[in-house]
Amino acid sequence: MTDVPDTPGTPETRLDPRYSDPRAGSPPWSEVERLIAEAELFWISTVRPDGRPHVTPLPAVWSAGALHFCTGPDERKARNLQGNPHVVLTTGTNTWARGYDVVVEGRATRVTDDARLRELAAGWEGKYGDFWHFEVRDGHFHHGPGRAVVFSVAPHTVFGFGKGEPFSQTRWRFA
């Protein structure tokens, strides 16, 4: 792998020459962070109690250096996270020769502080519109008759895949 100089406060960046065109470079973390923040849809991968994978699409909000998602407390992904908090969130374009795909690996941690949840609820509504308006109480999002738990995923490792000329693969590792 090829080292790319980092600035203080950013993750360690490595361009993998095995999967990258010799002309390729790594985008700065700030650009990848922007892509994550602006992405409308993510695919979340969790692990069922019997070890089988579970994958489903969902919206997510980037805030304070972490991705946040919500789900019903009885949904499969919430139940999976009780036994194994490790997740992968993936976003990008469904094309081969253009765009940039991002894979975020980390540990899902439940957010229960109502003040923080109100900040995140404002983030959902600001990003996705008033359909995603949540009331906050008792450590949950409330939407109509239902409630949702909120999780935060601070990245441990992020992979970026540049598609088209030049193809590239970059890894960002966080301390």
Q: Which contacts qualify for 63-68: CB closer than 8 Å, 24 or more apart?
A: 63/119, 63/120, 63/123, 65/154, 65/155, 66/106, 66/152, 66/153, 66/154, 66/155, 67/36, 67/42, 67/104, 67/106, 67/152, 67/153, 67/155, 68/111, 68/120, 68/123, 68/150, 68/151, 68/152, 68/153
pLDDT digits (tens, 9 = 90+) for 90-148: 999 999 999 999 999 999 999 999 999 999 999 999 999 999 999 999 999 999 889 99
Which domains, and CATH codes, for the chain? 2-173 (2.30.110.10)
Question: Is pLDDT of 7 > 70?
Answer: no
Span 66-83, average pLDDT: 97
Higher pLDDT among residues 168 and 1, named by residue: 168
Q: What does the pLDDT read at residue 10?
A: 82
Full-model pTM: 0.93
